[in-house]
Structure 1
């Protein structure tokens, strides 16, 4: 089962400095049919204006993954961490027992991100943060694990949940495959370009809610950049 969720059908808000689209219910957008997908709870498509951002605010007991699509985001938190994550790269904040952080676009132009929240397997653990570059060339023609709750994914950023976040870049006409485990939930969004997933057409920034599919065959109809979450029910 693959349910296409067109970009135009997503909830959202325009705060001036922030233009947000929500794949799932979030803040002022509430849709009882879109409360999450397996352990995946939030997927926000945010455009942040230059020299603006999210001022310090708290979180607890959530795995928060930021995939930077364009520009860069500068992170600071109550643990003393500070870092700048550029386009194509990823940061993970495990909020755990509680953390306060800010995320600012200090670049001369807009920054565009996917912000993904996944429910952790345990509550109350010590908070943490980390970031890592993932060069687009290493994801050419295949899915690469960017963040993972599985020990065997040594090169990925760690998650405290039964899930993986993956990325791929495909040239027009290229096809790649991904195998889903039994009863897994997947959610796929093309950050750029249009694709077919098991024959279902997706345009850029559309979402695909996937379950009961053992293999995903993704064909790029034009040059494409993909982000995929594979999570427990």
Structure 2
């Protein structure tokens, strides 16, 4: 059974420079029915105006993944890392015992559009660390590509949690499947475009959860970009 989380039902905050939609409770948006799903705590769809961004702020005991869809995100942190995250690149930040960082739109004129994902780690007080890798559209085209995992296999970024995160970019009519094994759980998030999930129409911003073993079938429409979280 799929439980849908429609895009228009998410929390929303528009600060002018930042237009953000929250799949789960975040900041001033509180919904006790949507506090997260398993270890998945935050999926924020953020659009930041040119020249604007998040000033230096702290985090601890959280795995933070940034997935850029459009534009470029500039990152700096207290570990000395500085980078530009472009579409196709995945950044993983382990906050652990505590870090500070900032995120800004690298462009002065064009918006940056990205997903910020928070995952609860499997243990606290980890050593803070940082990782960034590029996954091309060609690698994701019409297949599920592993982009984050607990063991970093197949070139994925390493996350301190029992999680497998897959990404795909689906051509019109293209199909991929993922099997949810007994004891596992899945969250499907449409980043852009449209797709059918087990026959259910989904659009950008929609999410769906299942804790039932079985097959998830995705059929693409309009270059759908979709993430699948396979969770303990």
TM-score band (shorter)? over 0.9
Asked if 2 retains the 8 angstrom alpha-carbon contact of 1:2 and 1:200, the reply is no
RMSD: 1.1
Deviation at 1:122, TM superposition (A): 1.0
Which position in structure 2 is the counterpart of 1:166?
166
Secondary structure at the aligned position of 1:24 is classed as: coil
d(CA) in 2 for partners of 1:102, 1:164: 27
Task: Spell out the pairing of 1:56-71 with structure 2 (5 A cutoff).
Answer: 56-71=56-71
Asked if 2 retains the 8 angstrom alpha-carbon contact of 1:144 and 1:166, the reply is yes
Task: Spell out the pairing of 1:178-217 with structure 2 (5 A cutoff).
Answer: 178-217=178-217
> Structure 2 stretches of 5 or more lacking a match?
none
d(CA) in 1 for partners of 2:128, 2:186: 26
d(CA) in 1 for partners of 2:72, 2:199: 34
Structure 1 residues 111-133: Cα deviation after superposition (integer angstroms, max 9, x where no partner): 01111111100110110111111
Asked if 2 retains the 8 angstrom alpha-carbon contact of 1:25 and 1:34, the reply is yes
Which position in structure 2 is the counterpart of 1:126?
127
Deviation at 1:6, TM superposition (A): 1.3
Secondary structure at the aligned position of 1:21 is classed as: strand
Which position in structure 1 is the counterpart of 2:52?
52
Secondary structure at the aligned position of 1:223 is classed as: strand
Deviation at 1:59, TM superposition (A): 0.4
Secondary structure at the aligned position of 2:83 is classed as: strand
Asked if 2 retains the 8 angstrom alpha-carbon contact of 1:180 and 1:215, the reply is yes
How many residue pairs get aligned? The number is 231
Using the size of structure 2 for normalisation, the TM-score is 0.96
d(CA) in 2 for partners of 1:63, 1:96: 8
d(CA) in 1 for partners of 2:14, 2:31: 18
Secondary structure at the aligned position of 1:222 is classed as: strand
Asked if 2 retains the 8 angstrom alpha-carbon contact of 1:191 and 1:224, the reply is yes
Which position in structure 2 is the counterpart of 1:143?
144
1:156 matches 2:174: no
Using the size of structure 1 for normalisation, the TM-score is 0.96
Segments ≥4 residues shifted beyond 6 Å: none
Deviation at 1:3, TM superposition (A): 1.4
> Structure 1 stretches of 5 or more lacking a match?
none
1:86 matches 2:86: yes
Structure 1 residues 159-180: Cα deviation after superposition (integer angstroms, max 9, x where no partner): 1111122110110011101122
Deviation at 1:88, TM superposition (A): 2.0
d(CA) in 1 for partners of 2:141, 2:210: 23
